[in-house]
Amino acid sequence: MKLSLSELQKEYRHEPLKFDEVLDLKADLMECYPEDVLDVTPVHINGMVSVEGNGDVLFYAHVNATLTVPSTRSLAPVELPTDFDVTEFYVASQAALTRYEKTDVVLVVADDEIDVDKAIADNLLLQIPMQVLTKAEQSANDLPEGQDWQVTIEGDGEADESDSKTVDPRLAKLKNFFDDSSKDDEQ
């Protein structure tokens, strides 16, 4: 779905453009991000586009879709339902950016075209959390391990203690380096 900034400014200055669409973003997302997105259901968006008094465009959409992404632990497919809102401002020039707060999402329109598909795809990617686990991985207490390696959780006191007790034999002489140098400084 593509919108023309100049057409919006002419036709929808007094009344917003309302939409209720289903977008097929599967091919684009899987082609551009094959390691991050394994599948995408059709993306349902509904919302409106309104033209502000200064000619800037406000785009608002409510988005529903289900992404299938790899588990961050085992790479097994995990379905990730998404349900979120997108609010973005589109402006004609770089100078218009000064009218907005730093927390607002403001984009300068190139070639008079607002690419809604790209905006929704980008926001879908932002919905993928840093850690994605299957239901089995979420409920399992044991973390994967192998010969001379194990998965640990950052901040887990048990893992931190075992790491601090192990000293590389090549660096053993340096273990008390600061203890000795602090004694020298006192004398």
Tell me: pLDDT of 160 over 60. Answer: no
What digits encode the pLDDT tens for the residues 40-64?
A: 999 999 999 998 878 888 899 999 9
Q: Residue 182: is its pLDDT beyond 70? A: no
Distance in angstroms (rounded) separating the CA atoms of residues 138 and 129: 14
Q: Could you tell me whether strands 77-91 and 106-108 are parallel, antiparallel, or unpaired per DSSP bridges?
A: parallel
Give the integer Cα–Cα distance in Å for 130 and 83. Answer: 17
167 versus 73: the higher-pLDDT residue is 73
pLDDT > 60? residue 91: yes
94, 33, 67, 71: CA torsion to nearest 10: -130
Predicted TM-score (pTM) of the model is 0.72
Type of residue at 38: L
Indicate if the pLDDT at residue 16 is higher than 80.
yes
Return phi, psi of residue 157, to 5°: -55, -35
pLDDT exceeds 90 at position 24: yes
